[in-house]
Amino acid sequence: MEIFFGAFTSEWEQRRAAMLHELSLGPKRRSSAEDEMKRRLKAMAELGGGGSGAGSGGGSQPKMRRRAAKPILVAETRAAEASRPIEARLAAVAQGSQPAVVKMASYGAGARVGAMLNYVSRGGELAVENENGERISSREDLARLRGDWNHLFQNRAESRDIGSFTVVIATAAVSSDETMHELIRNSLTSAFSDRRYAYAVTRQADGALTVQGAVVLRSEQGERLSGDDKAANIVQARYDASAAAQGVAARFSFQGYGNGVEYGASNLRSLVERHDGNVRDDRGQVIGDEKLAGDLVQKEWRGDLHSRKGRDVMHLIMSARAGTNVEACENAARNFLAEQFAGHRYVFAMHDPANDPKEEGDGGKRPHVHAHAIITMRSESGDRIETTPQVFREWRATMAEMARAQGIAMEMTDRREFASPPAFTRNQVRPVSREGRTEHVGTSEAAQGRYDAKRGGWRGLAKAERSREYAIKATQSWEKIALASGDRRVVAYAEQLRDHLAASLSADQAEASVNVVHADFGSKFRANLVTLQEVVLEGQEMRETTRAEFEAYEKKVETALFRLERSVGPDERDDFDEVASVAREHVNGRRELMELYEMKGQAQEKQGTATERDEGQELRDDANEQWDAAVAKHGEAVVEAANDVLVGIETSREGLDRIGAGELSNDARVFRAEIERVLARTAELAVQGNTYMREVAEKDPELKRAIEAAEQTQERPAKDKGKSPANVDTVTETQRDPRPEEAEHRPDEPAEQAHGLASAVDVTNRLQDKVARDKEAAQRGGETTRTDPAQQHIPRLEELEREKLERRERDRDDRDR
């Protein structure tokens, strides 16, 4: 297949196309293709111009500075901290240095870049500066940035979590308000099934009831409504088929939908305000004020949303105290971004009270000087930014270093050095006043307590043993500063912080002696170790994972590690470090494979011709028709549960075919074993009542034999076999996970636990060996790409395979929408 360079418009896409084109030519023509690629890249570099990147606002051509992003390594952070001892930092703070503030405001998908740029530039009234030092002041240039960055975005659509609905119920007079509300809840539950909702009702002159409200779009079984006319038709059909519709006519419609807890809380508060607190939820509880509305969404609905957002860009804020020199602060922010995010695309702008066009009452003219930056999460070379507490610590250290170079007294600080309470997040509070310093109220009692502690300057320590050790070290440092300094103010400040830390440590120790003195650390450690093993090994079944699924898996592993660390005794610290290292290496291996799938999908998408796209569209249309027919016959949840397992069988069979054709060198036994495992799961689904799985088995002899074998081993009466659910709402969690009993078979003895941990280590080692072999094979093939966090070489075959899998996932998302 020939790839024409003119078919792509951006420089990044041309480079990728050239590399794939070269690989498709074979060894005999690689030399000429390589020369052609070098010649074209050189020409593009000459068009891009040169220079140091320190731009003025003139009409110069954009400078193509594409340095590789600096890897974020813990070793670098420790080296930086070693060069700036804790005593030096705290002594500078005691003498008046301000703390470095670098905080994350939000993430955003590619679709939100325009709104985020509009906020940073104050609607185009403030000029922004990009990574090349160029000043962008016109709205047209800002609008073009979205297109310039598009190749770095995944552009995943936000999930539709909460919908706004209206129901008109034509009914006769009811005897009381309670009877009316019971009638309404019966009607809504018949249409929405087990979804959570809240509503308000208005009586019409003709006796009809108009019900307005908000509903969680995802059911407990995993079915997600789209919140549009299509969803309205679905719930209308379910209501009409229910017993509640007998004698009571109702018309359902949706007016909109949104993403996340913030949207849901805002929507529900607005409903409460419009109806003067006459709002009830699906359980009949009165939602009488905005606080109760926020608590309902934050505390009860949050877990049902399963919300997801794209993370293509991040909004970073760098702050300094009021009165700091604006020019020096701007230079420090510029140098910080260039140092920390080299290779990424970004823009930033300074907001200071003197030049901010936004009025104070509208949230502008903040008294402190600060810079806003919008940064792409992915660099030009494929690296993604990591946002862990350790990384933020490094960012603060770098920002402080750049500020000191500009004459600003600034230091990296840690809240454990001052016994400060943890920060509150924007999901825990909502603003109520923007006059001067923004005032907030908590969205729950716990959130309000956290907000009061932070704003009130309360003292407290983190509970982890590592944090206690760090606080002891900080106490000793404050003591040294108090003894060594001759300045009375420095001595008084150091002694005050020393006393605060000492008091917090004593209080924490007293609480620990009361609550933890009788704890069985050994038993708790073993139990948490088993839990960690089970969570880590979940990744063994993650053959084809989306980024959202991987992030959920990674979060579970880190949570299990956190719980395990809390139960570690002093003698088990070395063992924990080894276990944590193995677990994180396993997770990193899964991340690399997931990134490979994503990058392979992008490559295959770019090299498809127009004819192939037309053929693919016909195949997708046919697949969509088959899908719709199956959903109409069996129900969406039944088909979805069966399809998730059938995809695994198809992928493994395709791998066997490629091994037979000589395209892959993998061991065929691995694919055969995977097919047998997935066939067993498939047969269990069919036996448990999945009618769509039985229909597919009629065309698949191997699957049919597996189902027959599973039926023979079943102990239940034959008459219970093959039952199908009446509708989508009756699909149980057992169908979605046909192996719930496995969670109960956990090792109880220490020897079995040790064996399970050894298995996890062995799996990790095999994964590392596979990545190393793939790296050597890619180096011989000549293709180079980047994964997170380090550069790896991957085979082109895997890159093409991943495109196929990702295209299948997009088709499924299109059907959902």
Q: Tell me the per-residue pLDDT of 338-355, one tens digit each, with 9 for 90 and over.
A: 999 999 999 999 998 888
Torsion-angle region of 376 (φ positive above 0: left; ψ -120 to 50: alpha; else: beta) = beta
Query: Residue type for 700, please?
Result: D
Cα–Cα distance list, 91 to 408, 480, 481, 487, 497 (Å): 16, 10, 6, 11, 12
0.75 cut: is pTM over it?
no
With a CB cutoff of 8 Å and minimum separation 6, the contacts of 709 are 683
Listed in order, strand segments (DSSP E) in 223-262 are: 249-258
Region 576-603: mean pLDDT is 76
Q: Tell me the per-residue pLDDT of 119-165, one tens digit each, with 9 for 90 and over.
A: 999 888 899 999 999 999 888 888 888 889 988 988 777 889 999 99
pLDDT-wise least confident of 140-149, 316-325, 636-645: 636-645
Check pLDDT > 70 for residue 514: no
What confidence tier does 621 reach under pLDDT thresholds 50, 70, 90? Answer: low
- Whether residue 97 contacts residue 409, with contact meaning beta carbons closer than 8 Å, is answered with yes
- Whether residue 265 contacts residue 305, with contact meaning beta carbons closer than 8 Å, is answered with no
Q: Tell me the per-residue pLDDT of 237-281, one tens digit each, with 9 for 90 and over.
A: 999 999 888 878 899 999 999 988 888 999 999 999 999 888 999
Torsion-angle region of 290 (φ positive above 0: left; ψ -120 to 50: alpha; else: beta) = alpha
Give the bridge partners for 411, in sequence order.
99
Q: What is the pLDDT of residue 500?
A: 85
Check pLDDT > 90 for residue 647: no
Share of the chain above pLDDT 90, in %: 24
DSSP letter string over 117-176? HHHHTTTTTS-EEETTS-EE-SHHHHHHHHHHHGGG---PPPP--EEEEEEEEE----SS
| Nearest Cα to Cα of residue 290 among 304, 305, 276 | 276
With a CB cutoff of 8 Å and minimum separation 6, the contacts of 141 are none
Check pLDDT > 50 for residue 73: no
- Whether residue 260 contacts residue 275, with contact meaning beta carbons closer than 8 Å, is answered with no
Q: What is the pLDDT of residue 433?
A: 74
Check pLDDT > 60 for residue 792: no
| Nearest Cα to Cα of residue 25 among 58, 3, 8, 49 | 3
Q: Which of residues 232 and 682 earns the better pLDDT score?
A: 232
Q: H or E segment at 376?
A: strand 370-376
Torsion-angle region of 407 (φ positive above 0: left; ψ -120 to 50: alpha; else: beta) = left
Q: H or E segment at 815?
A: helix 796-816
Taking the alpha carbons of 50, 15, 597, 661 in that order, is the dihedral positive or negative? negative
Most confident listed range (43-52, 54-63, 404-413, 691-700)? 404-413
DSSP letter string over 172-219? ---SSHHHHHHHHHHHHHHHHTT--EEEEEEE-TTS-EEEEEEEESB-
DSSP letter string over 731-744? --HHHHSS-GGGGG
Burial class of residue 50, CB neighbours in 10 A (0-12, 13-18, 19+): exposed
At 204, phi and psi to the nearest 5? -95, 165
Q: H or E segment at 758?
A: helix 750-781
DSSP state of 224: B
Check pLDDT > 90 for residue 167: yes
